[in-house]
Structure 1
C-alpha cells in the first residue's frame, strides 16, 4: 500500500482564534480560588530540583520552577505553564484531525471540542502531571500517525523523542506505547516495524529517560511502590467507575464522536492505516482495568479518536434537518456549561459544596490554604516562647507541608517537615529539635507513627472559612512528644500514599 495523499492545509487562523480565546479565559480565571495541594507540592519540589521524586518524574516540578521564576510564585504565575500546555494540546489535536484528511471544518471542530472538554479544562487551568501528559500523549499520537500514514521511518525519531520526554513526566506513557505497538502488530501497517529507524527512535527514548530511570532505581523504585498503593487502596473503585468515567471525562456529547473515530478506520479505506489507533484505546483500557489504574489515565487517548471521528460527525450533522442540528446544539451547550462549571473556577467558593465537588473535587482542594496556614500559626503560638526554638511542625501530607512552606514564613512559622511522599526525603528534622511536636493531621491508631509521636494533646481544628468540604476541612492540630531522635524515627514515619 502506497503512502496516503498529503493532508489538507492546516487551518491556522480558526484554530489560532480558538487557542487565543482559550488563553484569555484561562488567564482571566487562573488567580481564582488559589493553589491546589498538588501545585504547592510541585512548587516545593521545584525548589529542590532532582532527576526524580517519590511519586513522579521531574518534568512537572521543573515546569513549576520555571513558571514561578518568570511569572511569580502565585497561582496565576504557576498556571502560565498549564495554560501554555493546554494551548499546545489544542493545536496538536487539530493537527491530528488534519492527518485524517480533516479540512478547515473538522480541524476547527476538533480544536473547539478539545479546548472545551472537561478533562482538558481541568488540566489546563491548574498545573498537574496530566497537564504535560495530555500534550505528550497527543504528540506521540501525531508523530505515530504520520509514521503510519507516510511509511517514512524517520518519524520514529520524533516518536522516540516524545516518548523519552513523556517518560520524564509520567510513566503512564508506557501504556500508550504498548497500545499503539499492539495495534500496529494486529492491524498494521506492519512495514513500519521493519526499519532501523525504529531502533534509533528507541535509542533516543532510552537516552532521554535514562537519568529518570537511574534515579528511581537508585532510590528503590518508589514510584512503583506508590502505584502499588494506589491500586491496593483504590483499585476496586477505579475498576467499577472506569467505563462510566470514560463517558463523562471529556464530555457526554463527544462520546458519539470518539466512537465514530473507533469505527471509521474499519469502514473508510482512506484512513485504514489508522486502525492501530482504534485498537490501542481498548488495549490501554484493558491494561488499566487489570492494574486498577485511575479512569482518567486513558482519557488523553480519546482526543485523537475525537479528531478521527470529527469528519463523520460533521457529515452526520450536515445530513440532518434543522431539528437534529438544534437538538445537538442544545445538548452541546448543556455539556459545555457542565464542563465549564466543573472544570474552571467560575462559581463563588460558597457554591462549591454539593454536586460540583461530587463531580470534580479538585476545585475544593484550591480553597483555604492561606487560612489553613494562619490556623497552624495560631496553634504554634500556643507553644511557650522558650520552647519554640526546639519545636517542630510535622504535616500529615505534602499539601499541608507545601502550604506551610509557602505561606508560613510570612506568619513567623519555621520550616515544616512531613514524612509524606518526597517530603520524607527532604527531612528529617535535626536531632537538636527535641521540643514539642505540632502535629498537623494525625496518624492511624496502632501505626508506627502513633508509637513514636505520643502524648498528643488536641489544640484546635481547622475549618474552611467558606465551609468548603475539602480534604483539610476538620483537620486537627495537636501538641505531641517525640519518643526517640528524629534521625532514627524518620524512616519509620515514612508514608508513600
Structure 2
C-alpha cells in the first residue's frame, strides 16, 4: 500500500469512528425535551441580529438554519451539535497524524476525545460551547499544519477559524492570547513579520466586525452580562472544582498520562512549543480569575493527539507483547470511563434505572422536563380569567427558559408571545400594548407582591414525572396579577435580568 493510500485508509477509519459516535447521539437525542438554554437559542434564532446579550450571533444563526430545515425537532435541532462533535473526533485523529502518529495514535486520539466528558455532552444539546469547541480545535489543527508545513497560507484558515470562534463565544480572546504568547515566546515569532499573519488577523477581525458594531450600538451590554454571570458563578460556588474537573470531564480520566505527556512533548518541541502556550495561558488565566472548568475544554484534544503520537513512539521501542498489553489496557480503561460518562451525560434510556441514574447525576438532563406541563398550567390560568381580563392579558416570565418554552412550544395552547426581562428578551419583548392583567411564572410571592397589584396564585409549575429541577423547586407557583405598581416604563427600566 502506498503512503497516499495508507493516509486515505486511515482517514476513512477516523471518519468511521466519528460516524459511530454521531449515530449513537442521533439515536438518543430525542429522548427527553429541550434544555432551557436551547429554548433561548430557538427564540433568538427567530429574531436574528448581529449580536445578543448573552453571546455573539453565530449560534442562533446556525439554529435558524436548523429550524428552517427541521422545524421544532429535538433530533433535528441538535444535529448541528452532533456534526460538530463528529468533526472534532475526526480532526483529533488528523492532529495525531500530523504530529507523527501512525494508525494506532490516530485511532487512540479520536476514541479518547470521543469518550471524554465535554465532547460527549456537547453532542447532547445545542449550545454555543459546542461550536466554540469545534472552532478552537480547528485553530489548533491549522496551527499544527502551519508549523509543520511552513506554508504561510495557513494563517488565512487560522484567522477564519478564530473569527468564527469570536462570533460564537467572547472568551475566545483568552485562547487567542495564548496563541499570541506562544508566537512571541518561541521561534515562531518570525511569523509576526509575515504579511500572511496580518492577512489572517484581517480575516478574523472582518468576521467579528458586525458583532463589534452591534456591541458598540448596545453600550457593550454583553460585557455587563459577563460580569454579572461571573459574579453569580463565583458567589454560588460554580467555579469550584476547576482543576478536578479538568481531569474528570474535560478529558477522559484514564487519558491523564497521555495529555500530560502531550503537554510535555509540546513544551519540549522547538517546532510545536506554541501549542503548549495555547494551553497554558487560558488555563492559568481562567484559574486565577475563577472561571469554570469547561471554559478550557477545547484545549485538550490537541494535547491528547500529541500525547498519543508520543506514546506510540515510546511503545514502538518496546517488545510486541508490551505494546499489545499497554494498548489493550489503555483502550479498556478509556472505554470503561467513557461508558460511565455516557450513562451520566447521554439520555440513553427513556425510563428505568439507567434514566434515574442519569437524572440523579446530571442536572442538565433534569432541566429538560416540564416545559409542556408549564405551558398547560399557564393555559389553565388563562382560561380562569374573566372575559374582561382575557381581553388584555400578557404572560410575564422570570427566566429565558420559560420565555423560550412559551414562544417555541406554547402555540399548542394558543399562548401569546411572552414578556421577559432576561437577556435579549429584554431588548425585544417590551409590550407595545400594555396588558392590564398578567400571568406571571418564574417569580416568587415576595417579588410579585412588591412589583404588581392584586396578585393571587392561579396554578402550579412542575412536571407530571415528579422530577426535581429549577422550575419545580424554585418557581412552583403561577400568579395572576394586575399591572406594575410603578407603571410599565419604570418597571422595565429597573428590572432588567441576566441569566
Compute the TM-score of the two structures, normalised by the length of structure 2.
0.91
Report the secondary structure of 1:421's partner residue.
coil
Report which stretch shifted further, 77-86 or 480-489: 480-489
Indicate how the Cα distance of structure 1 residues 452 and 92 shifts in structure 2: closer, same or farther if over 3 A, else same: same
Indicate how the Cα distance of structure 1 residues 120 and 16 shifts in structure 2: closer, same or farther if over 3 A, else same: same
Q: Please, which runs of 5 or more residues in structure 2 have no aligned partner?
A: none
Give the Cα–Cα distance (whole angstroms) in 2 for the partners of residues 83 and 450 of structure 1.
45
Give 1:272 deviation, angstroms. Answer: 3.2
* Contact 2:347/2:355, CA 8 A, preserved across alignment: no
Per the alignment, residue 367 of structure 1 pairs with 369
Q: Any idea what the Cα deviations from partners look like across 1:378-431, whole Å, max 9, x if unmatched?
A: 222222233112111101101111111122121122211111111111111234
Give the Cα–Cα distance (whole angstroms) in 2 for the partners of residues 210 and 350 of structure 1.
50
Report which stretch shifted further, 46-55 or 249-258: 249-258
Give the Cα–Cα distance (whole angstroms) in 2 for the partners of residues 99 and 360 of structure 1.
36
Give 1:460 deviation, angstroms. Answer: 2.8
Report which stretch shifted further, 17-26 or 416-425: 17-26
Give 1:219 deviation, angstroms. Answer: 0.5
* Structure 2 counterparts to residues 448-459 of structure 1, below 5 A: 451-459=450-458
Q: Any idea what the Cα deviations from partners look like across 1:137-180, whole Å, max 9, x if unmatched?
A: 01111112222223332221111111111111111221111112
Indicate how the Cα distance of structure 1 residues 321 and 46 shifts in structure 2: closer, same or farther if over 3 A, else same: closer
Report the secondary structure of 1:437's partner residue.
strand
Give 1:19 deviation, angstroms. Answer: 1.9
Per the alignment, residue 3 of structure 1 pairs with none
* Contact 1:82/1:131, CA 8 A, preserved across alignment: yes
Q: Say yes or no: does 1:230 pair with 2:229.
A: yes
Q: Say yes or no: does 1:191 pair with 2:190.
A: yes
Give the Cα–Cα distance (whole angstroms) in 2 for the partners of residues 363 and 281 of structure 1.
30
Give 1:347 deviation, angstroms. Answer: 3.1
Give the Cα–Cα distance (whole angstroms) in 2 for the partners of residues 50 and 59 of structure 1.
10
* Structure 2 counterparts to residues 194-205 of structure 1, below 5 A: 194-205=193-204
Per the alignment, residue 245 of structure 2 pairs with 245
Q: Please, which runs of 5 or more residues in structure 1 have no aligned partner?
A: 1-5
Indicate how the Cα distance of structure 1 residues 200 and 47 shifts in structure 2: closer, same or farther if over 3 A, else same: same
Q: CA RMSD of the aligned region, Å?
A: 2.3
Q: Say yes or no: does 1:261 pair with 2:262.
A: yes
Give 1:212 deviation, angstroms. Answer: 0.5
Q: Any idea what the Cα deviations from partners look like across 1:459-497, whole Å, max 9, x if unmatched?
A: 232222222222111322111222244344222221023
* Structure 2 counterparts to residues 31-46 of structure 1, below 5 A: 31-46=30-45
Give the Cα–Cα distance (whole angstroms) in 1 for the partners of residues 331 and 200 of structure 2.
44
Per the alignment, residue 129 of structure 1 pairs with 128
Give 1:194 deviation, angstroms. Answer: 2.1
Give the Cα–Cα distance (whole angstroms) in 1 for the partners of residues 113 and 261 of structure 2.
16
Give 1:282 deviation, angstroms. Answer: 2.0
Report which stretch shifted further, 138-147 or 52-61: 138-147
* Contact 2:258/2:308, CA 8 A, preserved across alignment: yes
Give the Cα–Cα distance (whole angstroms) in 1 for the partners of residues 369 and 107 of structure 2.
35
* Structure 2 counterparts to residues 472-487 of structure 1, below 5 A: 472-474=471-473, 475=475, 476-482=477-483, 483-487=485-489
Give the Cα–Cα distance (whole angstroms) in 2 for the partners of residues 328 and 90 of structure 1.
18
Give the Cα–Cα distance (whole angstroms) in 1 for the partners of residues 181 and 359 of structure 2.
38
Q: Say yes or no: does 1:286 pair with 2:288.
A: no
Compute the TM-score of the two structures, normalised by the length of structure 1.
0.91
Give 1:252 deviation, angstroms. Answer: 0.7
* Structure 2 counterparts to residues 66-465 of structure 1, below 5 A: 66-235=65-234, 237-249=237-249, 250-267=251-268, 271-314=269-312, 319=318, 320=322, 327-348=329-350, 351=353, 356-357=358-359, 359-434=361-436, 436-442=437-443, 445=446, 451-465=450-464
Report the secondary structure of 1:170's partner residue.
coil
Count of residue pairs the alignment pairs up: 485
Give the Cα–Cα distance (whole angstroms) in 1 for the partners of residues 151 and 403 of structure 2.
50
Give 1:351 deviation, angstroms. Answer: 4.9
Give 1:198 deviation, angstroms. Answer: 1.6
Report the secondary structure of 2:471's partner residue.
coil
